[in-house]
């Protein structure tokens, strides 16, 4: 951390109060997207929460909500905190987006609503019933392949990446060619919600090529007849969305459906590898798989942050946030706010994690969460039926991304 960012080292940020607007507001000069914070954001989150309900982040001149109460309130107040100006640092009122904005993530009602309704139906629990048995069998087959290679493996490529890549692109209905582009595309996209730092610069040369590949997968002719993609196009034929909107809705699946799930699966694997008594409980009661996944999403928050933009001079806890400014919502911090959660740093299968904001909250709340839960349930169920103990077999390595709390490597050792 740089010498000016001393505020995270101790207790609360102690920057000088900003001049008006925002007089008396606590400030923090830490860069939330620095490698030090990305490696371990928890001390920074604690400092931000303790500094107050609203903090001015001077590095990027944005406001921060790090407590559960304000994050939750902003997420459900889509009128006051809009998404259509972008949910990254870039303000679409003044800056051209790097790709055409998402019809879901980067839109407000009323434009947001028809695409959302279509995707909710395509990805809802009813629609997933036909996938369940196949995904459970796929998870068992994958585990048998991995375990045939020995009792030590890197869980990130072998399970957390391999399983979603095995089931999700087929479920969408894209062809086999070029699927290795999916993770790098997502990695770039989630980096691009942050500032133009080294992470963005390093991946930028490939961004155009990756985006073209993804866009080319979204047309009707590129998709199988029976996948999520075809169902989106069928909704366009029924007039529920336009034929111009259909490919962008397919793009949302390919954008939001891979890296997020990979790192959420990594999170739950890390959680059970480091909490053996919780793994024991899960093995004794495999129906806890879904609770385990949601608790891991609370605990690790694979999507750490999103921005909103104030649509008016909005009063929060006695401070005025000026119209048009960006607010950074720390989902991962809200999910570990001791004002909301008992022993928030403990991964605990006996807690009720519902109400966590790891999938967001309100009308933008993750539309793919049932898909992610089904993937997790399949993988954890297969693991529980094959493996007695799971432990770390070596040092884990984080993958830094401006939005995702991610892993590069997670060596595991299992006993059968
Ligand atoms: C989208 C999209 C992209 C990234 C994330 C996301 C977490 C949605 O293109 O709609 O939601």
**pLDDT tens, position by position, 178-195:** 999 999 999 999 999 999
Q: Tell which atom from ligand 1 comes closest to the C-alpha of 105.
A: 10
Q: Is the dihedral of CA 395, 263, 91, 46 positive or negative?
A: negative
- Closest C-alpha to ligand 1, atom 5: 256
Q: What is the pTM of this model?
A: 0.94
pLDDT digits (tens, 9 = 90+) for 265-282: 999 999 999 999 999 999
**How many CA within 13 A on the CB side of residue 96?**
2
CB 53 within 8 A of CB 72: no
What is residue 292's three-state secondary structure?
A: helix
pLDDT reported for residue 4: 30
pLDDT over 90 percentage in the chain: 94
Domain ranges of the chain: 27-415
- Residue 18 pLDDT more than 80? no
Q: Is the pLDDT of residue 136 over 60?
A: yes
Q: Are 378 and 139 in contact (CB under 8 A)?
A: yes
pLDDT for 2 equals 31
User: Residue with the nearest Cα to atom 9 of ligand 1?
Assistant: 252
Distance from Cα 45 to the centre of ligand 1, integer Å: 24
Residue 24's SS3 state is coil
Of 129 and 5, the one with more pLDDT: 129
Q: Give me the phi and psi of 159, to 5 degrees please.
A: -120, -60
Separation between Cα atoms, residue 133 and residue 238, nearest integer Å: 29
Given this model, what pLDDT does residue 5 score? 33
Q: What is the pLDDT of residue 24?
A: 83
Query: What is the number of alpha carbons within 13 Å of residue 131 lying toward its C-beta?
Result: 28
| Region of poorest pLDDT, from 7-11, 161-165, 183-187, 379-383 | 7-11
Smallest CA-to-CA distance from 181 within 102, 258, 250, 242 is with 258
Q: Is the CB of 369 under 6 A from ligand 1?
A: no
Count of all residues that appear for the chain in the document: 416
The CATH class for the domain spanning 27-415 reads mainly alpha
Contact 326, 89 (CB under 8 A): yes
Residue pLDDT, tens place only, 137-175: 999 999 999 999 999 999 999 999 999 999 999 999 999
Question: So what's the pLDDT on residue 22?
Answer: 53
Task: Give the Å distances, CA to CA, from 143 to 150, 169, 284, 325.
Answer: 11, 19, 19, 48
DSSP sequence for 25-57: --EE---TTSHHHHH--HHHHHHHHHH-SSEEE
Distance 292 CA to ligand 1 centre (A): 24
């Amino acid at each position: 951390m740089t010498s000016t960012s001393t505020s995270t080292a101790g207790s609360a940020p102690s920057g000088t109060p900003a001049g008006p607007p925002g007089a008396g507001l606590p400030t923090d000069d830490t860069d939330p997207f620095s490698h030090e914070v990305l490696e371990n954001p928890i001390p920074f989150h604690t400092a931000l929460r303790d500094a107050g309900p609203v903090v001015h982040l001077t590095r990027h001149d944005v406001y921060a909500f790090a407590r559960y109460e304000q994050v939750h309130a902003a997420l459900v107040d889509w009128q006051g905190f809009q998404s259509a100006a972008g949910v990254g640092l870039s303000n679409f009122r003044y800056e051209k987006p790097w790709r055409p904005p998402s019809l879901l993530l980067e839109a407000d009602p009323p434009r947001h609503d028809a695409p959302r309704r279509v995707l909710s139906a395509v990805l809802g629990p009813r629609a997933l019933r036909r996938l369940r048995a196949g995904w459970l069998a796929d998870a068992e087959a994958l585990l048998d392949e991995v375990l045939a290679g020995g009792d030590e493996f890197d869980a990130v490529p072998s399970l957390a990446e391999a399983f979603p890549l095995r089931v999700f692109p087929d479920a969408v209905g894209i062809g086999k060619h070029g699927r290795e582009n999916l993770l790098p595309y997502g990695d770039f996209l989630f980096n691009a919600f942050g500032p133009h730092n080294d992470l963005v610069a390093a991946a930028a040369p490939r961004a155009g090529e990756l985006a073209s590949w993804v866009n080319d997968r979204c047309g009707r002719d590129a998709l199988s007849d029976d996948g999520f993609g075809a169902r989106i196009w069928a909704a366009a034929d029924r007039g529920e969305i336009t034929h111009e909107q259909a490919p962008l809705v397919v793009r949302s699946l390919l954008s939001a459906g891979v890296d997020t799930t990979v790192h959420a699966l990594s999170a739950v694997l890390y959680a059970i590898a480091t909490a053996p008594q919780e793994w024991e409980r899960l093995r004794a009661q495999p129906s806890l798989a879904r609770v385990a996944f949601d608790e891991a999403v609370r605990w690790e928050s694979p999507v750490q942050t999103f921005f909103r933009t104030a649509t008016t001079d909005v009063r929060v806890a006695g401070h005025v946030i000026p119209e048009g400014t960006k607010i950074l919502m720390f989902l991962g911090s809200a999910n570990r706010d001791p004002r909301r959660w008992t022993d928030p740093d403990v991964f605990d299968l006996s807690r009720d994690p519902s109400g966590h904001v790891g999938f967001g909250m309100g009308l933008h709340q993750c539309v793919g969460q049932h898909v992610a839960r089904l993937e997790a349930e399949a993988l954890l169920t297969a693991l529980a039926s094959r493996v007695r103990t799971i432990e770390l077999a070596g040092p884990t390595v984080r993958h830094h991304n401006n939005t995702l709390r991610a892993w590069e490597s997670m060596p595991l050792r299992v006993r059968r």
